[in-house]
Each structure stands twice: as C-alpha cells, then as structure tokens.
Structure 1
Amino acid sequence: MSYLICSSHTWRMVSTPTVRRRRVGAELRRIREAAGMTLEDAAKVLECSISKISRMETGHVKARVRDIRELLDAYGLADEQRRNALLNLARNADQQDWWIDFSDVLSSLAQHYLSLESDAAWFCCFQPLVVPGLLQTEDYARAVISAGQIEETPEKVEKRVGIRMARQEILFRPNPVRLWVVLDEAVLRREVGGREVMRGQLKRLADAAVMPNITLQVLPYEVGAHAGIDGPFVLIGFPEREDPDVVFLENMTSSLYLENNEAVYRYKLAFDHIRAEALSPRRSEELIRKLAKEFV
C-alpha cells in the first residue's frame, strides 16, 4: 500500500492510494481473473506496460474511465449495473473532500489519513500519550496542537483545531464509525492546557464512553509492562471486506501505514492483549469521572 519515507530534510511519498482507488483496482482485478486473463493480456488491450495494469489494480495510479471501459469490454463483462457502478466509483475516486481547503496546513500524508478516516467503518486505538483527536475537546486540541506545532502561527493553529473538530463528525453521522479506544492512565492524569481544560476533557471522555458506537477503556498504572509498550497505534477497518485493514503509526517527523497481513495481525493481537488487561468500560468511565472532579 503505502509508506512515507523520511530523512532529516526530505519527504517522499511512496504511493498513497485512496480507499476509492483501491476499491476500483480490486474490482478490476476480480473481473480480469474471472475472465481468465493475465496482467499481460490486459496490458495488450491498453497497449501499455504490465506495470501500469498492476498499479491500477493496486490503486497506486488512477484508472481512467476510458481505460476501464476498454478493459471491461475485453473481459466480456456484460452486467450493466456492475459496469456503471465501477465507472461511477472511478469518476469519484479523486473527488475533492472538505479538507482540500486546508492544504496549507495539511501535508499530503495527512490528507490521505483523512481520506481513510472518512471511509472507515471502525477504529481500534491505543494511546499512551494524549486523548485521540476524535475525542478531544476544542480547548484540549488547541493545547496539544500548540505544544506540538511550535513553529506554527496562531492562525494555522486555529485552522488545525477546526480540522480536528470537523473530523469528529464521523462519530455522529447516520451510520457512525465504531471506535474502541484504550487510554493509558497517564493520559488522564497529565495536565494539558490547565486544570479547567482537563476537567472539560475528562467530562467529554466520560460522556463519549456511554455512546453506543464508542468503547472506552483505561489501562491502569498497576498493569506495568504491556503489549503496547512500544507506543501508540491505530487499526482502521473499512465497510467492504475487500479493503484490507490498515495500521497507522505516527511520530514527530514521519508516519507509516501498514497493511501487510502479518503486521496487521500482530497489532490486532497486541490490541487484544491491551484491552484484556485494561479496566472494564464501566470501571473506566467511573475512574474518568472521578479524576474529572480532581481537576478543580
């Protein structure tokens, strides 16, 4: 899928297909294979390289509508409904989303993450440092962003805060994303933005904990070493079974996406161990409400 290669001064994106491109490519591959044709056969149809067909099928390059029509004809696909659905998906594969207006503060990698996030069906998140962005209050987000973006102007900080708040819409839409979060106890006790900000943030977490699409747990100090000791991570799943689950890792200077089956399995296993050692959702909510009262 996709990786960000980073040196001290150079950022290079090595393929970051959107979910829609990946879906178009996967469908093209299924239709080609059902027709008994090889990559080489498809390349002859478009008079192009095998590499181009391969990259179309993995979503690393956009498949042009004209090319798709030619391939579907060659594959003998007569199902008009299926043809039209695929062509419409291809037309919308690169549609501009709301965050395009914030390209001055969002890297291409960040925009790619927002694309994955908006198309996701569920998230499993372990966070030992700060409250995840989808559950942050505006004041808490402002404090976190200001601390992490020390060279940003106040105007750009406010833009980033606005983006973070807009992202949370996926929790409240008619078909909301499902979110399972495990927070290290340190997240609840680290004072970010002042005591009033923390009190408001903890109340927000407690309220989120009772939402039907959110499961929130706290990993207490007493657990000691645990399966997430190496740092935060996010598992992302999508509505279509054909779209592989993704692991998202991030640090100060780079980010990484993994969709290799073995890597994803290892992180799923780690998350299972972490949530098994964490407090139950009910006890976690009680602890959060108790700590909120201490920030007075």
Structure 2
Amino acid sequence: MPLPTSPVIRRARLGAELRQLRRRETLTLEQVCERLGWASTSKLSRIELGQSRPDLADVLDLLDVYQVSPPQRDALIVIARDAATSRGWWKSLGEMSERQRTYAELEAGAAGIIEYQPAVVPGLLQTPAYARLRIAAGHLIDPAVDVEADLRARAARHAVLRRPEPPRYTALITELACEQAGDPVEVWREQMRHLLELAALPHVTIRLLPVGAGRGPVPLTPFSCYSFPDPADPRTVMLEALTTDVRLSTATDVDRYEQMAGCLLEAALPEQETVRVMASRLDG
C-alpha cells in the first residue's frame, strides 16, 4: 500500500513549482492574472505560497499560460490533486482546528518524524486522559479552545502510528515530561504504561534526556522535523508556540533544526536505557 501524501506539503511544492514556471516565462503576477481574467493577484499569490487549496481547473489554466510540456504537466497535475485532496482518512478532520489539521496533514504523508518536547509527553503519544488535562489547561488560556473537539482530533491523529506503513517516529523528551507533577496518579501511571507499550513498536523510538544532558543549551521551544517519501517534497520543521505555530521549510532552517535534533539524540539515553528508566519510575 503506498503511503498517503501530505496535502500541506504538496501545496508548498506545487506553489514553488508554479512560481518557477511563471518566472521562467518572465511574467509578473499581474500579467498572469490579466490573461486569466482573475480579479486580483491575491489568488495567484496564495497558490504560489501554498496558502490555499488549489482548484484543479485554476492549475490547468496556469499550466496553459506557462506552456508546460506533457511530462511535466502530468506530474504537476498529480501534485495539484494531492494538494487539494479530501480523500481518505482526513475527511474525518472536519472538526479539527486549523492548527491541529496542519499537524495531521504533515503526519499523514511523513516517512519520518522527530519530535522534541521539553515539558510534556508529545501529542502522538498521549493517552486520552493525559491529553484532556493538557488541552483543558490550554482552554484556561484560550477559552475558544473546544476541549472535546480537540480530544477527538488528537485521537484521529494517533492512527498514523498504527497504519499499515507508519512513519519512523522518534520522540525526544526530557525527564520533566515523565514527572507526575500535579497530574492524578492514575492518569500519570496510565500514560507511562502507554509510553512503554509504544516504545515496543518497531517504528517508534523514545529517548529520554536527563537533566543536564549534553554540552549545549537544551531548547525551550518544542519542535518537530518531518521528512517525506518523495525527496522533492520539502522537509519541514514545526515550532510549537503558545498561540500560533511556525512552519519552516527552507533548507537552511531545516538543516539547523535537524542538526539540533542530532545533538539531542547524542545527549539522550539509549533506547533500552530509556525504557528501563521509565519502567523503574512506574514500578517505584
């Protein structure tokens, strides 16, 4: 079974390809829109920036203007369909906030994910009870957060680790994330058992960062790195912030975060030692 594609990444790739084609033809945004009878340049600008789901008819019109040859045209049509698709499991994402949908679409097509969390268990590894506590805490800061809808969305995202051809997933978490802190004992114990269960999966790796690990500073901001089966799809980094997350896809930015992830992996406990420490805390 082929891996699904990530619509958000396909949109970014399609936009970059269309922008290159327009520049090859030495056309401005205004000139293209005038030829197509589009009211303003904002529509084309959003397509090129990967900020909107493209209509296939619009993409076909653009390919005609840029006089794209059949082999490249066919490849771009496939990408355009992936970029606009609502097929498959993400039809169920209707209730998701735009923020969660972005993560879900990245996860859907990823071949590899490396996630760093300095304070809590990463979302893909959370139990429903643990997730409820985290989401409810977010609701206190932003009353617009729909706790129940976010819980359903989080549960839908968890399926990516159980699909027939799952991504290679690596979680880097600090000791703080494994502390009970103020969580109810049973919620914490269930979460620790769940981590041990997931760590036994062949495609899941969990690495624990001890306090004071590594020579360099430990990042305070959670981030995740995504790679994709098609090497032409841009590698992507997501930075998790309090209100709005940041998506990075330039090679320079991604390289720096992948280097940081490599440094954290070097400082983290080995996989088997991580499992032993988590199990001892659960038994302690």
**Shorter-normalised TM range:** 0.7 to 0.9
Q: 1:164 corresponds to which residue?
A: 154
Q: Does the C-alpha gap of structure 1 residues 25 and 288 become closer, same or farther in structure 2, counting only changes over 3 Å? A: same
User: Is 1:102 aligned to residue 90 of structure 2?
Assistant: no
* CA distance in structure 2 between the partners assigned to 1:270 and 1:254 by the alignment: 22
Q: 1:273 offset after TM fit, Å?
A: 0.9
What stretches of structure 1 of length at least 5 have no aligned partner? 1-16
User: Bigger CA drift: 127-136 or 183-192?
Assistant: 183-192
Q: Which residue of 2 aligns with 1:116?
A: 106
Structure 2 residue matching 1:221: 3-state secondary structure? coil
Determine the structure 2 residue equivalent to 1:38.
Answer: 26
- Which of 275, 279, 282 is the aligned partner of 1:289? 279
User: Which deviates more from structure 2 when the two are superposed, residues 64-73 or residues 277-286?
Assistant: 64-73
Match of 1:132 in 2: 122
**1:261 corresponds to:** 251
Check whether the contact 1:234–1:248 (CA below 8 A) recurs between aligned residues: yes
In 2: Cα distance, 1:226 partner to 1:207 partner: 31
* Counterparts in 2 of 1:165 and 1:64: CA distance versus 1, 3 Å: closer
Partner of 2:70: 78
CA distance in 2: counterparts of 1:260 and 1:38, whole angstroms: 24
- Local SS of the residue matching 1:244: coil
**Residue equivalent to 1:230:** 220
Q: Which runs of 5+ in 2 are unaligned?
A: 1-6
Q: Are 1:59 and 2:50 matched, yes or no?
A: yes
Q: What RMSD over aligned residues (CA atoms) do the two structures have, in Å? A: 3.1
Q: Verify the 8 A CA contact 1:28 1:57 in the aligned structure 2.
A: yes
Provide the rounded CA distance (Å) in 2 between the counterparts of 1:70 and 1:156: 40
Task: Please identify, of 246-255 and 67-76, the stretch whose mean Cα deviation from structure 2 is larger.
Answer: 67-76
Pair 1:109–1:144, CA change in 2 (3 A):
closer
1:141-220 pair list within 5 angstroms: 141-150=131-140, 156-191=146-181, 193-220=183-210
Most deviating of 130-139 and 89-98:
89-98
Distance in 2 (CA, whole Å) between partners of 1:224 and 1:25 is 39
Q: Output the TM-score relative to the length of structure 1.
A: 0.77
Task: Give 1:202 deviation, angstroms.
Answer: 1.0
What is the number of equivalent residue pairs in this alignment? 270
Which letter maps to 1:185? E
Q: Deviations over 1:146-204 (max 9, x none)?
A: 22322788x94233222212111111111102111111011112335311211111111
Q: Give the residue type in structure 2 aligned to 1:37.
A: E
Q: 1:39 to 1:187 in 2, by over 3 A?
A: same
Deviations, residues 87-141 of structure 1 (Å, cap 9, x unaligned): 35434533443454315xx2x3332232222222221111110000101111111
Whether the aligned pair in 2 keeps the contact of 1:217 and 1:280 (CA below 8 Å) is: yes
Cα separation, 2, equivalents of 1:279 and 1:292 = 17
2:13 equivalent in structure 1: 23
Do the aligned residues in 2 keep the contact of 1:228 with 1:271 (CA within 8 Å)?
no
- Matches of 1:222 and 1:190, distance apart in 2: 19
1:207 is displaced (CA, Å) by: 1.7
When normalised by structure 2's length, the TM-score is 0.80
Q: Structure 1: how far apart are the matches of 2:153 and 2:13? A: 26
Distance 1:66 1:157, change over 3 A: closer
Instruction: Give yes or no for contact 1:40–1:50 (8 Å, CA) kept in 2.
Output: no
Q: Aligned in 2, Cα 1:52/1:158: closer, same or farther, shift over 3 Å?
A: closer
Deviation at 1:219, TM superposition (A): 0.8
Is contact 1:143-1:192 (8 Å) kept?
A: no
Change beyond 3 A, Cα 1:158–1:225: farther
Match of 1:272 in 2: 262
**Match among 238, 256, 266 for residue 248 of structure 1:** 238
Q: SS where residue 215 of structure 1 aligns? A: strand
